[in-house]
């Protein structure tokens, strides 16, 4: 019996996409707003996820749209905080890599 392939899952330093490919990142690192903007401007795609949110895969156009909607709630953990109202989500970004490609991971905090 063949082993079941992992898909659409995120751990601390690995992310399995819908094809079962494994993206990696440096654990504990977060992207700055300028780094997010640069990655999206150069065509990177995105994924939105969080502790209670399954991964939602985004084309570059969808990632740019998502970024425009969450910019005011964006923070860099340990460096800056967003001005989100109590009970609202804030967002941070993580840089995932696979074969020289960058995927912008928008992480939702509740």
Residues 6+ apart with CB under 8 A from 109: 50, 51, 89, 90, 91, 92
CA atoms of 31 and 51, how far apart (whole Å): 18
| Higher pLDDT among residues 3 and 64, named by residue | 64
87 pLDDT tier (thresholds 50, 70, 90):
low
- The per-residue pLDDT for range 36-72, each reduced to its tens digit, is 999 999 999 999 999 888 899 999 999 999 999 999 8
């Amino acid at each position: 019996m063949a082993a079941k392939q992992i898909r659409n899952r995120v751990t601390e330093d690995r992310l399995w996409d819908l094809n079962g490919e494994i993206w990696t990142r440096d654990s504990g690192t977060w992207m700055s707003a300028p780094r997010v903007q640069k990655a999206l401007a150069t065509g990177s795609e995105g994924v939105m996820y969080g502790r209670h949110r399954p991964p939602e895969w985004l084309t570059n156009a969808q990632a740019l749209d998502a970024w425009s909607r969450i910019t005011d709630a964006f923070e860099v953990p340990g460096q800056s905080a967003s001005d989100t109202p109590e009970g609202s989500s804030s967002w941070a970004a993580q840089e995932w890599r696979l074969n020289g490609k960058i995927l912008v991971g928008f992480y939702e905090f509740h």
